[in-house]
Amino acid sequence: MVAVTPPAGPDETRVDPDDPTWVRNPPSPEQRRADALGAGALFVGALLSHVLGRTAGMYDVPASGAVSLAWLAAATLPLAWRRRWPSLVLVLVSSAFVGAVTMQVPETLFLNIVLFTALYSVGAWERTRRRAAVVRALVVAGMLLWLVVSLFQASTDPDVLEQFDDVGAFSPLVAYMLIQLLTNVLYFSGAWWFGDHAWSAARDRARMRRRTRELQAERVRVEAQAVTIERLRLARELHDAVAHHVSVMGVQAAAARMLLDSETGTQQVAAALEQIEDSARDAIDELHGLVGTLREHEGAEDADGTAGPGEPVGSLAVTRLPELVAEVAGSGLTATFRVVGDPAPLPPVVSLNLYRIAQEALTNVRKHAGADATADVRLRYLLDAVELEVADDGNGLRRTALAVLPRRPGDGRVPVGGGFGIVGMHERMAADGGTLTTGPRRSGGFVVRAHVPLRRSSTGTAGAEGTVGPVGTVGPVGPVGTATSPVPQVAPYPAETLQETPDA
């Protein structure tokens, strides 16, 4: 069910309800019609009460019918504008109330209802709060003063005194006066408090509507941001999954074409075509996995950073870097792989991103470093971080890496030369809270270094989400994909030899 938020008026939209200058919206047409009908109903009720009072002999010398009709109309009909001009209505109604009682109009029930309704309306609808307090204070003070004067005059009237016998310890006249005072004080106080409470309730409703609009706007922004993030993620996955395999296929196809004219190249052509077939099959498998991720509703990442049910993140991880390097070496590029430090389990997303970065970096080496270049892939497990480094000694022109990168991932600026791979690397590291350094080496070649901090476990070894467990040792891969012996210590390339490109 979608919650429907009541529309806010111009004043509520313009001023924050928490601001002291906030004012309530003017009454709606429906409210004005209700006030007009209410004023008419009170006028009719006052006329009926006037007839009953005159019949019951409320006053010895009551006002004439025409005078009574005029005073009752003056007291009740202004309530039709009680929300639009509440202070003016209160002044008119209170003046008509005093006039009707002074002229001995035989009706008091509806006159009291009208008076306290007008007092309530000032507290609930007067847009200037200072005016509301001043007008109500003056009217209440005037009415109480008039009541006290009337009681004093009654206490000195011999005809009134004859109606109260001095029986008991407490004078009946004093008791009557106290009842009148307490009743009026309670009614005036109640009308004052309920009016202020209605104003506060309207302010709370405006505050709730404003918060609801802000939450709805934030939800729209978050949804748009989520769509953008997902679009960028899909772009990275498609780029990394397709570009690498298509690049290998292109290299092998070119080699096969050059060997077609050679009488002794039949076996080599067959091997190249077989590698093209394998690369195409791998590309299709990765595309199927990506499509499966899109169609899987339960493949979201859990709050602890691990893969959710059905998520194919674990199919590509740093444990498959030897296969990646071997594949690259099989395409004709000299490539080596080394693991430094004690391997520790990594969050699936971090492991996937490191694999993709290595894949993209090796693709760039094959495309830009030259035919005689050598690629060196190193995976370092540090005390509280993991670091991936892909370096080459080629002399090719690295236009993609040296292209101007966006200041923020996904800001819409396309890098010069179409360097989406470098942009994707930066975005992957930004998502993992890591850093990526790319640039040419002064001694020749190019280096890509990804650094991802990890949480420290209780045993002092870096691990995924504070856990450490044994994993299979990833052995180095030789120039043609054959396993070689581990190297205990491999120093990183010196930082001073790296010319960093602009950060994404």
pLDDT of residue 101: 92
Listed as own residue / partner, the contacts of 398-406 with beta carbons closer than 8 Å and 24 or more positions apart are: 398/364, 398/368, 398/440, 398/446, 399/368, 400/364, 400/367, 400/368, 401/364, 401/368, 401/438, 401/439, 401/440, 401/446, 401/501, 402/440, 402/501, 404/502, 405/501, 405/502, 405/503, 405/504, 406/504
Task: Characterize the bridge pairing of strands 455-456 and 446-453.
Answer: unpaired
- CA separation for the pair 239, 292 (Å, rounded): 17
Q: Positive or negative CA dihedral for 241, 247, 249, 250?
A: positive
Would you place residue 400 in the very low, low, confident or very high pLDDT band (cuts 50, 70, 90)? very low
Whether residues 210 and 328 share a domain: the answer is no
Contact, 332 vs 372, CB < 8 A?
no
C-alpha distances out from residue 49 to 69, 97, 110, 363, Å: 12, 15, 8, 96
**Within a 13 Å sphere around the CA of 484, how many CA atoms are in the beta-carbon half?**
15
Query: How high does pLDDT run on average in the chain?
Result: 76
Pick the closest to residue 417 from 470, 351, 367 (CA basis): 367
Give a yes or no: residue 277 inside a domain.
Answer: no
- 220, 248, 266 — which closes off a domain? 220
pLDDT of residue 57: 87
Is pLDDT of 11 > 80?
no
Whether residues 335 and 191 share a domain: the answer is no
- The more confidently predicted of residues 301 and 242 is 242
- The more confidently predicted of residues 321 and 20 is 321
Would you place residue 296 in the very low, low, confident or very high pLDDT band (cuts 50, 70, 90)? low
Pick the closest to residue 486 from 339, 302, 298, 322 (CA basis): 339
Contact, 165 vs 90, CB < 8 A?
no
Is pLDDT of 404 > 70?
no
pLDDT of residue 387: 95
pLDDT digits (tens, 9 = 90+) for 230-253: 777 777 777 666 666 676 677 667
Give a yes or no: residue 191 inside a domain.
Answer: yes
Give a yes or no: residue 165 inside a domain.
Answer: yes
Go through 220-247 and write b for each residue having 16 or more CB atoms within 10 A of its CB, e for each that does not.
eeeeeeeeeeeebbeebbebbbebbbeb
Is pLDDT of 405 > 90?
no
- CA separation for the pair 383, 378 (Å, rounded): 16
Give a yes or no: residue 352 inside a domain.
Answer: yes
Q: What is the mean pLDDT of residues 104-118?
A: 94
- The more confidently predicted of residues 4 and 23 is 23
416's CB contacts (< 8 A; 6+ apart) are: 399, 403, 404
Q: What is the mean pLDDT of residues 99-118?
A: 94
- 196, 220, 244 — which closes off a domain? 220
Share of the chain above pLDDT 90, in %: 36
The domain tally of the chain equals 2
- 220, 245, 278 — which closes off a domain? 220
**Within a 13 Å sphere around the CA of 266, how many CA atoms are in the beta-carbon half?**
2
Cross-sheet strand order for the sheet of 446-453: 334-340, 374-381, 385-392, 446-453, 435-440
Would you place residue 132 in the very low, low, confident or very high pLDDT band (cuts 50, 70, 90)? very high
Domain that holds residue 190: 10-220
Query: Where is average pLDDT lowest: 12-16, 97-101, 400-404?
Result: 400-404
Whether residues 213 and 329 share a domain: the answer is no
CATH no. for residue 404? 3.30.565.10
Would you place residue 137 in the very low, low, confident or very high pLDDT band (cuts 50, 70, 90)? very high
Give a yes or no: residue 227 inside a domain.
Answer: no
Whether residues 18 and 160 share a domain: the answer is yes
- CA separation for the pair 24, 12 (Å, rounded): 7
Contact, 111 vs 73, CB < 8 A?
no
CB atoms within 10 A of CB 30: 8
Would you place residue 292 in the very low, low, confident or very high pLDDT band (cuts 50, 70, 90)? low
Give a yes or no: residue 61 inside a domain.
Answer: yes
Give a yes or no: residue 242 inside a domain.
Answer: no
Would you place residue 91 in the very low, low, confident or very high pLDDT band (cuts 50, 70, 90)? very high
pLDDT digits (tens, 9 = 90+) for 414-462: 443 445 678 888 888 988 899 999 888 888 889 999 999 987 554 444 4
Give a yes or no: residue 315 inside a domain.
Answer: no
**Within a 13 Å sphere around the CA of 400, how many CA atoms are in the beta-carbon half?**
20
pLDDT digits (tens, 9 = 90+) for 320-373: 999 989 888 877 788 999 999 999 889 888 998 899 899 888 888 888 877 788
The 3-state DSSP class for residue 374 equals: strand
pLDDT of residue 334: 87
Whether residues 332 and 193 share a domain: the answer is no
58's tokens: 């409320």
Whether residues 338 and 192 share a domain: the answer is no
pLDDT digits (tens, 9 = 90+) for 262-291: 665 666 667 767 777 777 777 777 666 666
pLDDT digits (tens, 9 = 90+) for 161-211: 666 666 555 677 778 888 889 999 999 999 999 999 999 999 999 999 988
pLDDT of residue 145: 93
Share of the chain above pLDDT 70, in %: 67
pLDDT of residue 477: 38
Q: Which amino acid is at 207?
A: R
